[in-house]
Amino acid sequence: MLLFQDILELITSEARKHIETVNEKDVIFDPTEHAHITIRLIRYQKENNFKPKMEAIKEDVEKMPFVKSIKFESGYLNINLDSSYLYRAISESIETTGTFPDSFQDPERVSVEHTSTNPTGPIHMGRIRNSIIGDSLSRLISRYGYRVVTQYYVNDSGKQMISLYLGYEKFHKGEPMTEEILLDGYRKIYEYLEKVGSEGEVENLMELYEKGDGDLISKVREIAQVMLDRIVEDMKALDIHMDEFTWESEFITTGETKEVVSRLSESLHDENGAKYIDVPDVRKIFLMRGNGTSLYLTRDIAYHMYKFSQYDRCIVVVGEDQKEHGKVMKYIMNDLLEYPNSLEYLFYGMVGLESGKMSTRKGTGVYARDVYKQLVEKAREEVIKRYKDGEDVDDISRKIAVSSLRFYMLKVSTSKPITFKWEDALDFNGETAPFIMYSYTRAGSILKKVTTSGKADFKDMKEEEEALLVEMYKYPYKIIEAYRNLKPEVLTNYLLVLSRKFMRFYENCNIMGEETNISNRRVEIVKMFMKIMKDASYLVGIEHVDRM
RNA sequence: GGGCGCGUGGCCAAGCCUGGAUAUGGCAACAGCCUCCUAAGCUGUAGAUCAGGGGUCCGAAUCCCCUCGCGCCCGCCA
């Protein structure tokens, strides 16, 4: 959990002394420009004795150390904060703990499963959204104070993998197993199957596989590994790291799918030898085929049983096309198997193309690595425009590319579908990662040029300084909001707002050539800003550079 | 057909969970700002029946119902 002084809560409890039903929703950072914090009392206005109660609240709140002023305006008690208090609160936290807000390690173990894309080809823009959301989510939960492990479920069984294998065997047998060759075989096998019209070959192999044929399983796994290595490489380029890989085939070879079926035996029904369960409000869900082989869901249950043995809380990041699958899993794990562990899903909206859907098989996908490469190129051009010299150009370009791609995927609510457009992805102006990075760079360049000594004082605090301080003080609340709702996008939006507030500060509050007391104070504000920026940016994968 | 979700200026989004003060930003457009800490920026102008209709409420972009439009799901696939 986070450790910081929750002034909203303090104000709430103060208000409650006089009007008992005031709750945390009534005391908020004011979204309009009337005040820093407001207490919404509109709905109490018509009650008896409202005025004396309101006056009493006003009087008590006014005495609070962080309150500069408070006045009643059309149903609201509008509070302006003492920005020197905020300044000290933030700087003390940073001085004593090295961070703002500080956090306390919770013993609960959390698993975040993400990406888990079939290793049948390079990761495309649809799937990379999963990785980016999942990685940011794991950073966020860890920042909040939990021990987090990220997990990739490697789907090396099933029709698509068998097809990939068959494509190689049929069209490229003996050739080196490279991504390119495997992909070529994959496309050819689908064309072949469509022409010949017989999927019998695939089905026979699947059955063989399902029965646990060691030779076949290891061959398929070898191919999967080749593809997976490239996927991991692509993720690594975006600073996405997976802690653990679990192979689906292991649940077949170890017989754990059989364990699943026996544990669920009481709920199983029979249909021509196949076994299914009835999931309320859904339909018949099959766990065993008539021929005795398992299905994807069966293996996924086994995987979740494994996860539940290791983690208290399991979060799965998957596309919204799997909402029903998630519902079924929850029902099975919590209601039928009665696990107490928490299973949560973050369903994200699909990434489409202007021309339609992405498909590796059909070759209509846009690969993440291609977008990344283009971003690096574009970034390099932009950097060179500004600085002809320097060995750091590669590093800067890389960081801009990583940040831009991650930001692009997170700026819109994760639950909303997005349409990938090259033009938008490559845009560096407006609400983009470079905007956020640029505010940090500007802050840094002040520190390079200004030396401070001595004390700061708080006279003549400008509006832009106060606004920046208040915004920084909101940071813990933003982490909490993002964490509770599993919404990393709360932080990208926060970063935009914070950067914008800084830009205004930068434009309006001079530091060089200012009176020392004031410039000392502003320099400290700049330092705090950079600290919080770096902290929040890390959570969503935005990196910072000294110059750009 | 059934289920789930979405619909906010020309375009893209925030706000919706937890109802309240003039609906917040960006892109594009127009007009300005670099003898001064990086103009990837800042300031200003213009632009909105919050899909439509009904309901609840003192009060609705936000909650409920209906209609329309769009997306996703409805395999002994994964």
Q: What's the pLDDT at A360?
A: 62
**Does the structure show a pLDDT above 70 at A546?**
yes
Lowest mean pLDDT among A277-281, A300-304, A526-530: A277-281
pLDDT in tens, A192-232: 887 776 667 888 898 888 888 989 999 999 999 999 999 99
Work out if A483's Cβ lies within 7 angstroms of strand B. Answer: no
| Confidence at residue A194, expressed as pLDDT on a 0 to 100 scale | 78
Scanning residues 382 through 411 of protein chain A, those with a beta carbon under 7 Å from any atom of strand B turn out to be: 382-383, 386, 396, 400, 411
Round the average pLDDT of chain A to a whole number and report it: 93
Could you give the CA distance from residue A515 to residue A201 in angstroms, rounded to a whole number? 82
Task: Express each pLDDT in A70-101 by its tens digit.
Answer: 999 989 999 999 999 999 999 999 999 999 99
In the beta sheet, which residues pair with residue A270?
A: A275
Which strand B bases fall within 7 angstroms of a protein CB?
Answer: 3-6, 12-15, 17-22, 25-28, 36-43, 58-59, 71-78
Give nearest nucleotide to A384 (CA–C1'): B40
This model of the complex carries an ipTM of 0.95
Q: Whose CA is closest to A545, among A434, A389, A408, A426?
A: A434
Nucleotide nearest to A283 (CA to C1'): B74
A462-471: average pLDDT: 95
A301 contacts: CB under 8 Å, gap ≥ 6? A260, A264, A287, A329, A332, A333, A337
CATH architecture, range A2-81:
2-Layer Sandwich (3.30)
Fold of A114-353: Rossmann fold (3.40.50)
Measure CA of the first residue to CA of the last residue in chain A; give whole Å.
35
Spatial distance from the CA of A456 to the C1' of B22 (Å): 37
The domain A368-540 having CATH identifier 3.30.70.2740: the answer here is no
Model pLDDT, residue A359: 66
* pLDDT tens digits, A224-265: 999 999 999 999 999 999 999 999 999 988 889 999 999 999
Q: What is the pLDDT of residues A309-362, one digit of tens each?
A: 999 999 999 999 999 999 999 999 999 999 999 999 999 999 988 877 776 666
Query: Domain-by-domain residue ranges, chain A?
Result: 2-81, 114-353, 368-540
* Amino acid present at A321: D
Q: At residue A162, what is the residue type? A: I
Residue A34 burial by Cβ neighbours in a 10 Å radius (0-12, 13-18, 19+): middle
Rounded to 10 degrees, the C-alpha dihedral A424/A544/A6/A133 comes to 50
Smallest CA–C1' separation from A429: which nucleotide? B40
User: Whose CA is nearest the C1' atom of nucleotide B17?
Assistant: A485
Phi, psi torsion values for A284, nearest 5 degrees: -70, 130
Own/partner pairs, A63-69, CB within 8 angstroms, 24+ separation: A64/A7, A64/A10, A64/A11, A64/A14, A66/A7
Check whether A172 has a pLDDT greater than 90: yes
CA nearest to nucleotide B70 C1': residue: A417
Q: Is the CB of A157 under 7 A from strand B?
A: yes
